[in-house]
Structure 1
Amino acid sequence: MTESTLLEKPQPPADYECCDSACTPCVWDHYYAALKAWRIQQAELKAQQQDS
């Protein structure tokens, strides 16, 4: 992993942030993409710690 900013775990959208109108992209799409990036970064950090 290259030197990069440590991502904060994303918070799911609040109830009022999704309008249930099938928007593309939905606030949930953004949340799940951010959550995936955070999980990947966490796995990479864990792997680095185990290699040390």
Structure 2
Amino acid sequence: MPDSVPLPDADPRPLPPEEPGPNECCGSGCPLCVLDLYSDELQRYRTALAAWKLRHPDAAP
């Protein structure tokens, strides 16, 4: 029988989005500003993290 290989975590902890750098926003009020997109991604991350924590109550903070 072959050695069993551990499977990668099927439910990994969500990773936060990368914050835009200080010079990525031009400040001209673009309709799709990188800061708005980051805010949307951050909200999705927080929602996903909260759901993940419910599924993994013993995980480290």
TM-score between the two structures when normalised by the length of structure 2:
0.65
| Cα offset, 1:15, TM superposition | 1.2
3-state SS in 2 of match to 1:10: coil
Q: Which runs of 5+ in 1 are unaligned?
A: none
Q: Which residues of 2 match residues 1-52 of structure 1 at below 5 A?
A: 7-50=14-57
Q: Output the aligned Cα RMSD.
A: 2.1
> How many pairs were matched up?
48
Say which structure is richer in helix: 1
Structure 2: gaps (5+ residues) = 1-9
Task: Give structure 1 regions of 4+ aligned residues with deviation exceeding 3 angstroms.
Answer: 3-7
